[in-house]
Chain A
Amino acid sequence: MASVQEQTILRDPQLFYWILFPITIVMVLTGILRHYATVLMQSAPQKQDIRAIREQRNLLHGIALRTNLNQLSLSSFTARKNYLVAAYNRGEFLKDQENKGKPPANPMTDPAGMDQMMNMLKGNMAMMVPQTLIMGWINAFFSGFVIMKLPFPLTIRFKSMLQSGVMTRDMDVRWVSSLSWYFLNLFGLRPVFSFILGNDNAADQMAAQMGGMNPAAGAGMFAPGQDPHKMFLAEAENLEVVGGQHEWVLDGVIERLLAAHN
């Protein structure tokens, strides 16, 4: 087998100065640009109607009470719960009381919903455009020759991807073209970004893609198109359910304290 013998290829050191470093620098600068573009493109949160805020806050009040119920004594929990459940069922906190039973408005016509969608679209654009541009740039300028040798072996399956444009059948897969250096940068530059820009940066493309999988996770609570009255009714039911499992944390605290200090 020919593969036993080590393949050596003489390369011009200029390859490093004119390919490796430019790609790295461009990737880092693109990440920084992405970060600042994302920061700049975020539109400031709009001032909301006082009634809309009241609706949201009161729903969050119920959720907070439900999650922290054990911090309260049974009597004070029951008092809060009774007040909230009664108000929820009456629909007291609703933004527009007369629309209680009607289906929600079309999210496409709601200006708040439009705004949210615009933000999502901008985030996707900031991710897709540089990625496409850089891949195209690398393919246009730097394809067709190998630039480096990986320090670890890969299976033959990677050959078509990592040696794209190099038409040699027998070359070891460890010799790779510039596109694979691009991929390494794509995955490995996150530490660099977090040291340049801090931890909450928007520079990393891979992280942005992971986050892009579920864009509804953060904004899902008050997404347009949901009937707030239904949410209030569901929350009232939840409060009633957890009310049966109440167990105060301060029950038996004296015994625990004494046991801890014995």
Chain B
Amino acid sequence: MTTAAEERELLLNPVVPENVLHNTKTVTDIRSLTGSLFGVAAGILGLESYWGFIFYLVGSCVVSAFMVALNTGGRPERYFRGKSEIWTTEVVSGSSMAGFILTWTLFFGLLRV
């Protein structure tokens, strides 16, 4: 697709910034809550080093699948640009990962050491 055609497409189906912001905020909220809970789970299970991060990634994938199925009704492309955005938003960077590490460390320290 050329640039001109892309611009034309954007004019015909405009992207409303408020809606994009709201959708991203919803995903961020879910991710930060589940990220912290995954940290609690990983700490209780006593996962260490790579296993903890693998656990987090797998859990995030499961949460993404739930979001696709429940929040978007199986059609994420209606709410996000492209199908993959809902799977990657806020997974690695952002507050979700930091919350995971915080609660993971806390519960690991409380229970295991």
Contact = CB atoms under 8 A, between A and B. Distances in A.
Interface of A: 11, 16, 20, 24, 70, 147-153, 181, 184-185, 187-192, 194-195, 199, 247, 249, 256
Interface in B89-111: 95-96, 98-106, 108-110
A83 B53 CA distance: 61
Interface of B: 8, 11-12, 25, 29, 32-33, 35-36, 42-43, 47-49, 52-53, 95-96, 98-106, 108-110, 112-113
A187 B49 contact: no
Contact of A148 (B98, B100, B103, B109): B109
A152 B53 contact: yes
List of 4 A-B pairs having minimum Cβ-Cβ separation, nearest first: A188-B102, A191-B32, A190-B95, A148-B109
A190 B32 contact: yes
B45 to A, nearest CB: 10
Majority secondary structure, A binding face: helix
A192 B47 CA distance: 23
B12 A151 contact: no
Contact of B52 (A20, A147, A152): A152
Given A191-B96, A199-B25, A151 B32 contact: no
Nearest to B103: A188
B52 A151 contact: yes
B102 A189 contact: yes
21 contacts: A11-B113, A16-B109, A16-B110, A70-B11, A147-B109, A148-B113, A151-B108, A151-B112, A152-B48, A153-B49, A184-B98, A184-B102, A184-B105, A185-B102, A188-B99, A189-B102, A190-B98, A191-B36, A191-B99, A199-B25, A247-B11
